[in-house]
Amino acid sequence: MDTYLDHNATTPVRPEAADAVARALTQHGNASSVHRFGRLVRHTLDEARESVASLVGASPANIVFTSGGTEANNQALRGFDGPVLVSAVEHDSVLGVRADARIVDVDADGVLSLEHLHEMLARCEEPALVSVMRANNETGVMQPIGDVVRLAHEHGALVHCDAVQAAGKIDVSFAQLGVDMMSLSAHKLGGPQGVGALIVRDGFDPEPLLRGGGQERRRRAGTENVAGIAGFGAAARIAQDNLDLFAGLNGLRDDMETLLRAAIPDIVIHGADGERLPNTSCIGLPGMTAEIQVMQLDLAGVAVSSGSACSSGKVAPSHVLRAMGHDDAAAQSAIRVSLGWSSVAQDVDHFVDAWTAMAQRRSPNVDARRSVA
């Protein structure tokens, strides 16, 4: 039995999205052409744009299609000329964009410190951009975006929200949150890889990364990835229709954590005291590195990850857990288990059995003192 519990890295393509990709591949016009072939492709793009906009409560005119969440984050931060403030637990595609970015602290649950943000905004001599994710990719912990927006706007600052992990899992409203920019990625919600979007509020346009064409209202040059965008639109429609079902994963996740705590009392569930996505659990096992856990679970037919998939290959402590106050040992012993639209109770049972058997084989000399959660 193979069990896939790494949906925050990428989730399986929904059948409806795969069908939309296949149909789009049969269309051979260029959306910038005025003849009927081009108009048919333009219609496909328009339908997808409306679906993505509907998923996050935005206007279709606000959508800028990109190659993914990383490009969207880069455009948001690199397209702004001024101070940039980012939380310490942001994805690498935010933390690595601006060398001059100023870091805002988080608390022990990984929630941004509004007090520290206020202090940093007060020290900015010109309007700033604040970039804060809606939900963390490693722990699932959600940020108080409404409070961030209120505070930032009081200081004349703009707000960018990386909603890559949240969209399609919880209700995310661009309009209600009041952010100025938002990043999305198709493959996190059942669409194909290699396509995403930056949502930009009316009256504001960050400098484009790609120039030389009029596509996307001159906000992102280059012929659009029509097939990918069509799949994105289909996935967005299905995800929006199934938000209530996704919320039900909270029960599976909580049952899993209860079983793990009962079997191995010294484990740590990072961020468990904060508000989290319903599908995500970051589990620390003292005395066993995440890399070893991932490999042993893979041999048992269970796929999980050690933090962000975009950081795979790095033998380094999680910057997210370090920012939450954990030492290197704790930050190197945590795995991420993330459920998705195709997850069922049998997947959780398989993981619990495999992980418990592995954990019980730890060295009897392991220091079982509980880390700070």
Distance CA 362, CA 344 (A): 28
* Planar angle of CA 94, 78, 57, nearest 5 degrees: 70
Cβ within 8 Å of residue 368, ≥6 positions away: 266, 286, 287
User: Of 307, 244, 235, which is closest to residue 21 (Cα–Cα)?
Assistant: 235
Task: Give the Cβ contact number of residue 313 at 10 Å.
Answer: 6
Phi, psi (5° rounding) for residue 24?
Answer: -65, -30
Distance CA 211, CA 46 (A): 22
Q: Is 7 exposed, middle or buried (0-12, 13-18, 19+ CB in 10 A)?
A: buried
Helices (H), 155-281: 174-177, 215-218, 226-241, 243-247, 249-263
d(CA 235, CA 82): 35
What distance in Å separates the CA atoms of residue 202 and residue 195, rounded to the nearest whole number? 22
- HEC profile of 156-215: CCEEEEECCCCECCECCCHHHHCCCEEEEEHHHCCCCCCCEEEEECCCCCCCCCCCCCCH
Q: Residue 208 is which amino acid?
A: P
* Nearest one of 24, 73, 68 to 195, comparing CA atoms: 68
Catalytic pick among 124, 161, 282, 310:
310
Q: Which of 367, 188, 172 is nearest to 287 (CA)?
A: 367
List beta partners, residue 337.
Answer: 281
Strands 129-131 and 158-162: parallel
Q: Is 161 a catalytic residue?
A: no
CB atoms closer than 10 angstroms to residue 85 = 22
Describe the strand order of the beta sheet including 181-185 as a list of residue ranges: 63-66, 196-200, 181-185, 158-162, 129-131, 84-87, 102-104
Which sequence positions are flagged as catalytic? 310
